[in-house]
Copies of this chain bind each other. A is one copy, B any other.
């Protein structure tokens, strides 16, 4: 197939944050072009967004249902190959389900759905339709995260004993949802965000990152949710103790009231033979410390890295890559899967988060929400 893939976007109007990120990530490698969209539930906003993106006005829609209908009706050489969903959480499942059923592949933002039940149902739809479904747990797109996974896989850490995963932010220290900040408004609203604000928005990334690197699954957890800012119906801080299957232990927390923290996702993994540390705000470095030896600072773009890391790098060492490039790595893998499907090739090994990751993430949230309400120390991980 010698053409760019065509995609449409649901949500992500010009005043949204994450829509622009998806578009930049999709643009980066020149493999995909945006040709359609329903950027807002407000038809006028959707239209203006489409204009600013140089889209054909005929393909800027005022509802996602209309878009699904009309795109499906276009000839194969013209209609979109996949849709990207960047709406608030409560709309993920309905939109994804409709487009999957209409025959489109889907890229969807996280957390995957509003509830765990919805997540399981969506998994069924993905299985049934056989379409590609990619979830944008974007932090796993960083090359040095992939290197971390390789190090664990090679056994260089020995058995994993402990994971410390932090995700502090400070942007919700004030009640900015009351002043019309759009992001804050829906993320703190149970009707649009779901049963969790902080853990759902960012804690799920921390969980996903740990599982991506180590493969460890949670056996039980102990969560404390706190709402520090008065008048906020959902938690803005969540601290968890974690027991992993097999005996490893974890500390995981997420916070949106940690003043001065920007987007400080970080993870440290300790094993019997060494440890790893990675900080998202310095993503080109990975600290690997073999036991009783000097720490080694592994840096993106160097010849000594694994093929797993090298495959996801665009620039020579010292020319830093960052957030958008990592995000684009999720797209590039989803695109590879979609291209292979279109070209009729057998499915290869792709490295992007799937609907299974989405279900697991929702089960994690569900378990944490239960635990936060419980007086018992440990809450068993719910069935995913």
Q: Which residues of A, 276-296, contact B by the 8 Å Cβ criterion?
A: 280-284, 288-296
Of the candidates B24, B259, B378, which one forms a contact with A270 in the assembled complex, judged by CB atoms under 8 Å apart?
B259
A260→B322 contact, CB < 8 A:
no
Contact partners of A69 in chain B: CB under 8 A: none
A54→B262 contact, CB < 8 A:
no
Instruction: Report Cα–Cα, A173/B289, bound state, in Å.
Output: 13
Question: Given A24-B28, A296-B294, are A275 and B253 neighbors across the interface (CB < 8 Å)?
Answer: no
Instruction: Report Cα–Cα, A280/B264, bound state, in Å.
Output: 20
Of the candidates B28, B222, B257, B374, which one forms a contact with A28 in the assembled complex, judged by CB atoms under 8 Å apart?
B28
Of the candidates B4, B222, B291, which one forms a contact with A222 in the assembled complex, judged by CB atoms under 8 Å apart?
B222
Annotate A25-36 by CB proximity to B: 1 below 8 A, 0 otherwise: 001111000100
Contact partners of A317 in chain B: CB under 8 A: 262-263
A173→B272 contact, CB < 8 A:
yes
Contact partners of A222 in chain B: CB under 8 A: 222, 224, 241, 377
B27→A262 contact, CB < 8 A:
no
Question: Given A222-B241, A294-B298, A299-B262, are A169 and B27 neighbors across the interface (CB < 8 Å)?
Answer: no
Any chain B CB within 8 A of the CB of A358? Answer: no
Contact partners of A226 in chain B: CB under 8 A: 249
Q: Which residues of A, 227-280, contact B by the 8 Å Cβ criterion?
A: 228, 237, 239, 241, 243, 249, 251, 253, 255, 257-264, 268, 270-275, 280
Give chain A's interface residue range (CB within 8 Å of chain B). 35 or more
Contact partners of A162 in chain B: CB under 8 A: 228, 237, 255, 257-258
Contact partners of A378 in chain B: CB under 8 A: 375
Annotate A307-339 by CB proximity to B: 1 below 8 A, 0 otherwise: 000000011111111111100000000000000
Closest to A223 in B: B241
Contact partners of A66 in chain B: CB under 8 A: none
Instruction: Report Cα–Cα, A259/B319, bound state, in Å.
Output: 16
Question: Given A259-B272, A315-B323, are A53 and B30 neighbors across the interface (CB < 8 Å)?
Answer: yes
In the complex, how many angstroms separate the beta carbon of A235 from the nearest chain B beta carbon? 11
Contact partners of A292 in chain B: CB under 8 A: 302-304
Contact partners of A295 in chain B: CB under 8 A: 260, 296-297, 299
Of the candidates B21, B171, B243, B283, which one forms a contact with A315 in the assembled complex, judged by CB atoms under 8 Å apart?
B21
Closest to A21 in B: B315
Instruction: Report Cα–Cα, A77/B378, bound state, in Å.
Output: 62
Any chain B CB within 8 A of the CB of A11? Answer: no
Contact partners of A302 in chain B: CB under 8 A: 262, 292, 294
B315→A319 contact, CB < 8 A:
no
Any chain B CB within 8 A of the CB of A216? Answer: no
Q: List 19 A-B contacts (CB under 8 A).
A: A3-B54, A30-B54, A161-B228, A162-B228, A162-B237, A164-B253, A169-B318, A170-B270, A173-B291, A251-B253, A257-B270, A262-B299, A262-B301, A280-B320, A281-B320, A282-B320, A294-B299, A297-B297, A375-B378
